[in-house]
């Protein structure tokens, strides 16, 4: 089914002063937490950008469970290769495996984030320099007492989900700060999509009873860690805000897709994303 916009009454979109064009050519280097994002994001960009989105591209270059280090290796063969094909793109959206604290400890996450950034700036956009946006994601919602996930960090998997989101975000921030402190002269700062902050804000709203139609974090997930259609819509709004430097409240209301949030939920999500990202220095909206 094709999504289409409906009119909603809401806050007038704020000008951020950092807008990027809606016709950006984007490649996303990531894993299964990347995969649900391009579809709703594409619809949002076309709805918000209209004719200005003509020529837009949002391609995926993903391997389930992969690190940035693995995706950098020369023997990796993908239909779309974010490393080899970067000249075709204006923007690289990069993420790391979660828990990111494990990737920092064992997978040289800082160094490989910088390698990807430098490569995109040197080779991207036909050699004119592609920007890099860092997508910070989250850990499983079952994190806390009783969590027996063998792939999780034994010393952290018992930390409650809400508390652990803050720990993960600090690690994502550590990596982003390292890149921004060491990036090539003249390159733009690496902006960050603060997924843990978004999820923390949702958790707090659900706890306060102010999240329309949501009673638990699981309402946004199809399993322990992968978002469902509602969750993908939420995180796509965060991508929209950071990648394009645009107020997500300017995205028209959308309907026609199974599982997408209701009109009330969409309006609430847009306000939440705006509040979080506009208050976050590395979101690029201030």
pLDDT (tens digit, 9 = 90+) per residue, 28-50?
999 999 999 999 999 999 999 99
Confidence of residue 156 (pLDDT cuts 50, 70, 90): confident
Is residue 1 scored above 70 in pLDDT? no
Query: How high is the pLDDT of residue 2?
Result: 54
CATH number at residue 180: 3.40.50.1110
pLDDT (tens digit, 9 = 90+) per residue, 49-77?
999 999 999 999 999 999 999 999 998 88
What domain range includes position 137? 4-12+21-283
Query: How high is the pLDDT of residue 157?
Result: 86
Is residue 11 scored above 60 in pLDDT? no
The number of distinct structural domains making up the chain is: 1
Query: How high is the pLDDT of residue 151?
Result: 75
Residues of the chain above pLDDT 90, percent? 85
Answering whether pTM is above 0.85, one says yes
**Residue 129 phi, psi dihedral angles, 5° rounding:** 100, 110
């Amino acid at each position: 089914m094709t999504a289409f916009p409906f009119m909603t009454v809401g806050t007038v979109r704020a000008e951020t002063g950092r807008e990027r064009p809606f016709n950006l050519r984007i490649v996303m280097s990531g894993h299964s937490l990347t995969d649900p994002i391009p579809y709703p994001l594409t619809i949002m960009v076309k709805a918000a950008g209209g004719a200005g989105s003509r020529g837009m591209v949002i391609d995926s270059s993903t391997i389930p469970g992969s690190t940035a280090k693995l995706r950098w290796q020369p023997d990796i063969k993908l239909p779309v290769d974010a490393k080899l094909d970067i000249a075709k793109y204006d923007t690289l959206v990069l993420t790391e495996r979660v828990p990111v604290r494990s990737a920092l400890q064992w997978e040289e996450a800082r160094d490989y984030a910088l390698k990807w950034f430098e490569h995109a700036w040197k080779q991207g956009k036909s050699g004119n320099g592609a920007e890099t946006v860092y997508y910070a994601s989250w850990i499983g919602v079952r994190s806390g007492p009783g969590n027996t996930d063998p792939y999780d960090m034994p010393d952290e998997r018992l930390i409650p989900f809400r508390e652990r989101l803050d720990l993960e975000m600090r690690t994502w921030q550590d990596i982003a700060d390292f890149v921004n402190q060491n990036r090539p002269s003249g390159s733009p700062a690496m902006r960050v999509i603060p997924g843990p902050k978004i999820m923390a804000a949702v958790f707090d709203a659900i706890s306060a009873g102010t999240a329309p139609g949501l009673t638990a974090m699981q309402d946004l997930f199809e399993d322990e860690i992968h978002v469902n259609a509602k969750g993908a819509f939420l995180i796509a709004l965060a991508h929209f805000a950071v990648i394009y430097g645009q107020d997500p409240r300017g995205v028209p209301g959308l309907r026609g897709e199974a599982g997408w949030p209701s009109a009330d939920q969409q309006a609430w999500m847009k306000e939440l994303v705006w509040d979080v990202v506009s208050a976050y220095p590395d979101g690029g909206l201030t």
